Structure 1
Amino acid sequence: MGKIFKRNVLKHSDKQRTRAAELTLRESIYPLCLVTILFFLWGFSYGLLDTLNKHFQVTLNITRTRSSGLQAAYFGAYPLASLGHANWLLRHYGYKIVFIWGLFLYGVGSLIAWPCILYRSFGGFCAAIFIIGNGLGSLETAANPYLTVCGPPKYAEIRINLAQAFNGIGTVVAPVLGSYVFFKDTADNVESLKNVQWVYLAIACFVFLLAVVFYFSPIPEVTDADMAFQAQETSAGTDHKPFIKQWRLFHATFAQFCYTGAQVAIAGAFINYATETRPGTDNATGAQLLAGAQGCFAFGRFVGAALMKFVKPRYIFLVYMTMCIVFIAPSITQRGNAGISMLFVTLFFESIIFPTIVALGMRGLGKYSKRGSGFIVAGVSGGAVVPPILFAAADSQDGKSDAPTAVAMSVPLAFFIAAWSYTLCVNFVPAYTKVVDSFSTTKIGVENAHAHDPEAQTGGGVLADEKIGGGATQNETVDTERKV
């Protein structure tokens, strides 16, 4: 226990190379397990949001479009965190402080949500969700890139998909809870809604406690200097170019925006889709079906992560993204169990897309890794844009179609196709594939671990490049270290 709870340092310089540049699988297990808990937390929060979306429509008698304000508040907060306060903390202090900051905001937002739910204030609850979104956006700003860089680079896609599978489990638990708590008594929806307040109070208590655990836990800080070393070792680094010319990063960000928007829109409209297209389906049954679909989503991540052990991640990425397009299209015209099954399969194939875009998009960024990760996570803001478009399209079909939400599924189909452009480039454009494949085959952290470790070469000290940003380059720093 003495090794787990020891002296804490909350500020780290990105100008220093550390042992974290060549972490082995064993060395990365504890911090990765701790960070994986965070994925369950925001999966649970996201699942609650999808369930509450439909419940607010019933309880407060509001339109589909207005209820999508929940998604707009939640995902609209992400760019503020990933490009603003959280990314600033990440670049100036390190990962640990961002984990603690994100948990703090998550807890505060949950406490504010408590009275808002009690007094049925939709506007107040949207404000609480905005704060929670800032907290979860902060956590994602740190956790997603951390999973890709904490450990051997060749296993980055597997690590992040396994961790994200627990996010999927959280999205399953929330609708199940909703079906037995929020919708347990359809004759008194208001009383059912009040039960949600205790869920948010429990969340607040848990995340504050988890923030304390993170403070006392030794989390290896992976610096931009470490990432520059990895980029040079693989001969696939692009950080010698100005940040503005990191075209692969911006393409990944665009794909993340389109894909996440489509994913959130489908999940947010799932209960509406089920009640409209499947005769005899009430809100509680719709929530249970959503839990089943999210179960397919979680299972798909475990399957995808397993396949990546034997097949190049970019190939799995191509198949899964293509299948999303293939199966969402029939849901527009199909009804009943056939339409529901199409959404089930779509969610299965959605599973690995988000984390794989993060992992592939960060390849070769080197000293721009932390800054670049903020852009990719900012792509999550698509979840604030696409759902309102889908619900507005559904509202426009009222009286014209027996299943307005089904017709509106053409909206996420269009955004899936836009995101597909990145998938094609990663697999068929040499400028993309060379970088991705170089990292997938590297032996850093697998063979001769810490062979270039500055601590080993200096008897325990950490070499710092005092001139980075003022004349010397990251590559010159590594060359200097090798001569020591």
Structure 2
Amino acid sequence: MAILSFRKHSLRTRDDRRTPASELTLRQSIYPLCLVTILFFLWGFSYGLLDTLNKHFQNTLHISKARSSGLQAAYFGAYPLASLGHANWILRHFGYKAVFIWGLCLYGLGSLIAWPCLVHRSFGGFCAAIFVIGNGLGSLETAANPYLAVCGPPRYSEIRINLAQAFNAVGTVIAPVLGSYVFFKEVGDNADAIKNVQWVYLAIACFVFLLAVVFYFSTIPEITDADMMFQAQATHVGVAEEPFRKQYRLFHAAFAQFCYTGAQIAIASYFINYAVDTRDNTSSATGAIYLAVAQGCFAVGRFSGSFFMHYVKPRWVFLAYLTCVIIFNSAATTQRQNTGIAMLSLTLFFESVCFPTILALGIRGIGRHTKRGSGWIVAGVSGGAAVPPILGAAADAKVKGTGTAMAVPVCFMLAAWTYAFAVNFVPAYRDTADKTGAATIGIENANRDSEISDSGEEADKGVGTSAEIAA
């Protein structure tokens, strides 16, 4: 099957017909998964760069911790607008490829807007650029996360999404390293350091526009609502038949995602502040190095979590990791110096599997509601706009109060833990996850000979309307 095709392409896909994509094998899913994984690195890099800029904007522009959280508010506040609005509409009416291209174009546009804002040191203008970038990345997450979860055998959905998210974590490591050794090393916290970042955003714009062209000409299978309904029925998960408003497991997952992501973003956003406030003689540049180490722990955690999921049910790995997050985050609120930084770094290590696993478990078995439902869970990322300002305000209330303020994310992690508990000990949650996890679709009797057209049109074999499939 050709990977790139230069013949006429269509970005519209019918959701009421089943395609061979419902039974993709591991081999058939490798190329599209690798291509989508590049997107995870891109938004990991963007997010890591934002965490580094947060502290340097405080120093360079002389703004408070609470005001600097406007970057996170603009970035993550755009997510529900994308995941519940324009990106989700495009996903349901056109398909995954169209959303990938749309998200990349918005990402590139926002990066171009950021360029002059950095030159003129306009914090408000840069927040506006970040809002556009957030819409682009929110669009990409709306499509990429569920695509990884459903592209290939259902049994390995959590492993696929955690491996791809590991490359997201690699991006979050590289960005602080660049900040410490390239942008801020020689010029410190002055205007020249901020201007240095303009070239990064220009390079990002060029790259993502080129990647959008690659996606347009690439052959990637489209997974329709009918495909997901087939998988749900093949695994005997009855909840897919329920109307969307009764998918309470999905809404619990979205709530958990909101609380967890808000806490994760708050911790990363103020990690440098935490290092400066709690460790003697620590500069912002040194704090960025500690952040890079912590993000390295985060990346290692995702690879380790994916490894453990080969041998232990993903829901158990999720419960163990999130429990450890609460333990070490709580310890970081009382410890100082190197011990406190070590506790917060371990918190990031165990945070690693939580976001992708909540999404993968949350959309298991919901059939034709998968595209719409994934938008709700991705919208939970908007917690990243709500929790950092609370932590920032708590830190501003006391001199060098970032350490004590880390109690704020602990509270939100406890709320997210309710979902980890439910998916392991409440039968309605646990049985749905286990039935899908035991599926042999794409492994036994796989549809190996089917060709998936790059336009997403239905193959002659195995095609039927959703009504026919239900019958």
Question: TM-score normalized by structure 1?
Answer: 0.94
**Inter-partner Cα distance in structure 1 for 2:188 and 2:35:** 42
Q: 1:99 to 1:209 in 2, by over 3 A?
A: same
Q: Distance in 1 between matches of 2:108 and 2:140?
A: 12
Greater displacement, 443-452 / 385-394: 443-452
Mapped contact 1:83–1:375 kept (Cα < 8 A)? yes
The list of structure 1 runs, each at least 4 consecutive aligned residues, that deviate by more than 4 angstroms after superposition, is 451-455
1:421 aligns with 2:418: yes
User: How do 1:68-467 and structure 2 match up within 5 A?
Assistant: 68-186=69-187, 189-398=190-399, 403-450=400-447, 460=460, 463-465=463-465
Deviation at 1:463, TM superposition (A): 2.8
Unaligned runs of 5+ in 2: 453-457
Comparing 110-119 and 237-246, the one that deviates more? 237-246
| In structure 2, distance between residues paired with 1:157 and 1:250 | 19
The alpha-carbon deviation at position 187 of structure 1 amounts to: 5.2
Q: Cα offset for 1:333?
A: 1.0
Alignment partner, residue 40 of structure 1: 41
**Bigger shift: 242-251 or 2-11?**
2-11
Change (3 A) 1:188 1:336: closer
Q: State the match for 1:478 in structure 2.
A: 469
Q: CA–CA distance in 2 between the matches of 1:451 and 1:202?
A: 40
The superposition leaves residues 199-229 of structure 1 with CA deviations (integer Å, 9 ceiling, x where unpaired) of: 0000000000000000000110000000000
Aligned partner of 1:5 in structure 2 is 5
Structure 1: runs of 5 or more not aligned: 466-473
Aligned-pair CA distance for 1:240: 1.3
- Separation of aligned partners in 2, 1:234 and 1:443: 9
Query: Are the structure 2 counterparts of residues 22 and 189 from structure 1 closer, same or farther at C-alpha, using a change threshold of 3 Å?
Result: same
Quickly say closer, same or farther: Cα 1:30–1:334, change in 2 above 3 A.
same
Cα distance in structure 2, aligned partners of 1:253 and 1:407:
28
Is contact 2:20-2:459 (8 Å) kept?
A: no
Paired amino acid for 1:478: I
Amino acid paired to 2:268 = A
**Alignment match, 2:27:** 26
Distance 2:354 2:109 in 1: 30
> What is the deviation of 1:237?
3.7
Structure 1 position 404, deviation (Å): 0.2
Q: Do the aligned partners of residues 304 and 459 (structure 1) sit closer, same or farther apart at CA in structure 2, a change above 3 Å counting? A: closer
Task: Give the deviation of 1:189 after TM superposition.
Answer: 1.3
Q: Write the deviation string for residues 388-427 of structure 1: whole angstroms up to 9, x where unpaired.
A: 00000111123xxxx3000100000000000000000000
Moved more, 135-144 or 2-11: 2-11
Contact 1:86 1:98 (8 Å CA) reproduced? yes
Q: TM-score, normalised by structure 2?
A: 0.96
**Percent identity for Structure 1 against Structure 2:** 68
Q: Which amino acid aligns with 2:414?
A: I
Tell me which of the two structures has the higher relative contact order, counting C-alpha pairs closer than 8 angstroms and 6 or more residues apart.
2
Partner Cα distance (2:74, 2:298) in 1: 24
Conservation of the 8 A alpha-carbon contact between 2:24 and 2:448:
no
The structure-2 alpha-carbon separation of the partners of 1:3 and 1:320, relative to structure 1 and needing over 3 Å to count, comes to: closer
Q: 1:21 to 1:56 in 2, by over 3 A?
A: same
Q: Is the 8 A contact 2:16 2:226 kept in 1?
A: yes
Distance in 1, Cα, partners of 2:333 & 2:276: 15
SS, match of residue 15 in structure 1 = coil
**8 Å contact from structure 1 (residues 454, 461) kept in 2:** no
- Take 1:265 and 1:336, find their aligned partners in 2: how far apart are those partners? 20
RMSD: 1.6
Look up the match of 2:455: none
- Whether the 8 Å CA contact 1:327–1:342 is kept in 2: the answer is yes
* Contact map agreement 1:454 1:462 (CA 8 A) in 2: no
One-letter amino acid matched to 2:168: N
Q: Which amino acid aligns with 2:437?
A: S
2:76–2:383 Cα contact (<8 Å) kept: yes
> What secondary structure sits across from 1:181 in the alignment?
helix
Secondary structure of the structure 2 residue equivalent to 1:27:
helix
Structure 1 residues 23 and 299: CA distance shift in structure 2, 3 A: same
C-alpha contact (below 8 Å) 2:153/2:441 kept by paired residues: yes
**Equivalent residues of 2:17, 2:224 under 8 A apart:** yes
Please tell me the residue identity of whatever aligns with 2:440. K
**Offset at 1:180?**
1.5
Which SS does the other structure have where 1:238 is aligned? helix
Q: CA deviation at 1:479?
A: 5.8
Partner of 2:58: 57
Q: Which residue type is aligned with residue 325 of structure 2?
A: C
Aligned partner letter, 2:463: L
Q: Find the aligned partners of 1:459 and 1:321 in 2 and give their Cα distance.
A: 42
| 1:169/1:295 contact within 8 Å kept | yes
1:283-309 C-alpha deviation (Å, 9 max, x unpaired): 110000000000000000000001101
* Paired residue type of 2:349: F
1:331-368 alpha-carbon deviations (Å, 9 max, x no partner) = 11110000000011000000000000010000111000
Contact 1:228 1:237 in 2 (8 A): no
**Is contact 2:25–2:448 with CA below 8 Å preserved after alignment?**
no
Q: Which amino acid aligns with 2:423?
A: V
State the alpha-carbon separation in 1 of the partners of residues 341 and 421 from structure 2. 28
2 CA distance for matches of 1:182 and 1:449? Answer: 51
Task: Please give the alpha-carbon distance, in whole angstroms, between the structure 2 residues aligned to 1:240 and 1:50.
Answer: 42
Contact 2:59 2:189 in 1 (8 A): no
Counterpart of 2:206, as a letter, is C
Contact 1:16 1:462 in 2 (8 A): no
Counterpart CA distance in 2 for 1:193 and 1:68 is 17
How many residue pairs match? The answer is: 465
| Whole-angstrom distance in 2 between the partners of 1:383 and 1:304 | 23
